[in-house]
């Protein structure tokens, strides 16, 4: 997991350096990816974290 976490940090720094808005598609994709790595212990098999514009990140079932 350490290399995944390092990759997430590197991508975050890249977004910061580009001054990306928090609600941009790039930032949302990064948030979903980061949550699926860092918070995967909170998911059941078949679930992933997805961004909902009204509520933020939420767990959803993948078919």
Q: How far is residue 13's CA from residue 56's CA, in Å, rounded to a whole number?
A: 21
56 three-state secondary structure: strand
Asked whether the predicted pLDDT for residue 63 surpasses 90, the reply is no
Residues 9-46: tens digit of each pLDDT: 999 999 999 999 989 999 999 999 999 999 999 999 99
Q: How far is residue 15's CA from residue 19's CA, in Å, rounded to a whole number?
A: 6
Question: What sign does the dihedral 62-31-23-57 (CA atoms) show?
Answer: positive
Tokens standing for residue 2? 């350490």
pLDDT at 1: 55
Residue 27 near residue 15, CB atoms below 8 Å: yes
pLDDT at 13: 95
Q: How confident is the model at residue 2 (pLDDT cuts 50, 70, 90)?
A: confident
């Amino acid at each position: 997991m350490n290399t995944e976490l390092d990759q997430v940090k590197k991508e975050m720094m890249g977004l910061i350096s580009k001054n990306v808005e928090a609600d941009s598609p790039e930032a949302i994709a990064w948030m979903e990816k980061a949550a699926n790595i860092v918070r995967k212990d909170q998911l059941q098999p078949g679930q992933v974290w997805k961004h909902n514009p009204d509520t933020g990140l939420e767990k959803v079932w993948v078919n």
